Homo-oligomer: A and B are copies of this chain.
Amino acid sequence: MEARGIGKGFTGMGWEENVRKVVPYTPGEQPDKEGTIKLNTNECPYPPAPGVGRKAAQLAADKMRLYPAFPEETELAQELARFYQIGRDELFIGVGSDDVLSLAFMTFFRSDRPLFFPDITYSFYDVWADLYKIPYETKALDADFVIRKEDYMQPNGGIVFPNPNAPTGILMDVGQVEEIVAANRDVVVIVDEAYIDFGGTSCLPLIHKYDNLLVVQTFSKSRAMAGMRIGYAMGDSRLIKYLNDVKYSVNSYTLNYAALQLGAESVKDEAYFKESCAKIIRTRDNAEKRLAQLGFGFTKSYGNFIFASHSSVPAREIFEKLKQNDIYVRWWGKKRIDNYLRITVGTDEQMEALYGALERICGHQSNAPLQSND
A interface residue numbers (CB < 8 A to B)? 1, 4-5, 8-9, 11-25, 27, 30, 32, 38, 41, 43-48, 50, 52-53, 56-57, 59-70, 95-96, 98-99, 102, 106-111, 127-128, 130-131, 157-158, 182, 185-188, 208-212, 220, 224-229, 236, 238, 242, 244-259, 262
Contact = CB atoms under 8 A, between A and B. Distances in A.
A77 B318 CA distance: 35
Contact of A224 (B5, B65, B248): B65
Contacts of A52: 61, 64
Contacts of A188: 15
Given A32-B69, A96-B253, A229-B255, 14 more contacts: A9-B210, A13-B238, A24-B246, A30-B69, A41-B67, A47-B62, A53-B62, A63-B227, A64-B228, A96-B251, A99-B254, A102-B251, A131-B250, A256-B258
A285 B43 CA distance: 52
Contacts of A211: 4-5, 8, 11, 13, 15
A47 B61 contact: yes
A257 B228 contact: yes
Nearest to A55: B61
A64 to B, nearest CB: 4
A61 to B, nearest CB: 3
A24 B103 CA distance: 14
Report which residue of A8, A50, A107, A110 has the largest number of chain B beta carbons within 10 angstroms of its beta carbon: A8
Contacts of A46: 65
B131 A246 contact: yes
Contacts of A27: 67, 252-253
